[in-house]
Structure 1
């Protein structure tokens, strides 16, 4: 029963990571496309809050429940799909702190522009571009991790299976 409870929490945490993360990502993209500093500031503030208070803790739940599942299942950490998913998870996690910082910068830049009645300049565009591409990389990694969770195969094993 403990295994099933941990598995349930692990899946829920994955849904939160993916769902809230993707929602935040898409909302900030949509807000940025308006080029309206007030809209961007409002949305970025919510994105920073949700990613700090919901998405980040979900990542920690993933770590703890994944470890528990690993221990209860008796699978070695060196199992191909587990090790590969951990490496990708670490890479995605390494993007996370910079992403949060960039979101904070986007928020502050939008607030400052809104208060000054100014338009967002090239600095905003540069920070936004870095944030956007880090998001693309992070979500690509998350898609692969979920694929491995479902199939219990690495991407290389899947390609060999399909070919």
Structure 2
């Protein structure tokens, strides 16, 4: 029963990571496309809050429940798909703090533009571009991790099955 409860929490945390993470990402993209500093400031403020208070803790729940599931099932850490998913998870996780910092900068730049009654400058677009690409890389990594969780195989092993 403990295993099933942990597995449930692990899946819920994955849903939160994907759901809130992807939602935040898409909302900030949509807001930025308006080029309206007021819209961007409002959305970016909410994105920073949700990513700080919901998405980030879900990542920690993923680590803890994943480790406990591995221990309960007797699966060694050196199992290829487990080790590969951990490496990708920590690579994606290493993007997380910079993403939060960039989101906060986007919020501050948009807020300053609102206060000054001006538009967004090239610096906003530069920071946005970095944030956008980090999101692309992070979500590709997350898709690969979920694929490994479901199939219990690495991407190399999956490609080998196709060939």
1:31-46 → structure 2 map (5 Å cutoff): 31-46=31-46
Residues in 1 aligned to 2:90 and 2:64: alpha-carbon distance in whole angstroms = 14
Residues in 2 aligned to 1:67 and 1:155: alpha-carbon distance in whole angstroms = 21
1:99 Cα deviation from its structure 2 partner:
0.1
1:54-133 → structure 2 map (5 Å cutoff): 54-133=54-133
Residues in 1 aligned to 2:80 and 2:44: alpha-carbon distance in whole angstroms = 38
Match of 1:49 in 2: 49
1:86 Cα deviation from its structure 2 partner:
0.1
Give aligned pairs, total: 163
Structure 2 stretches lacking a partner, 5+ long:
none
Residues in 2 aligned to 1:157 and 1:67: alpha-carbon distance in whole angstroms = 22
Give the TM-score taking structure 1 as reference length: 1.00
The RMSD of aligned alpha carbons is 0.3
1:162 Cα deviation from its structure 2 partner:
1.1
Match of 2:152 in 1: 152
CA deviation vs aligned residue, 1:19-63 (integer Å, no higher than 9, x gap): 000000000000000000000000000000000000000000001
Match of 2:143 in 1: 143
1:112 Cα deviation from its structure 2 partner:
0.1
Residues in 2 aligned to 1:90 and 1:126: alpha-carbon distance in whole angstroms = 26
Match of 1:17 in 2: 17
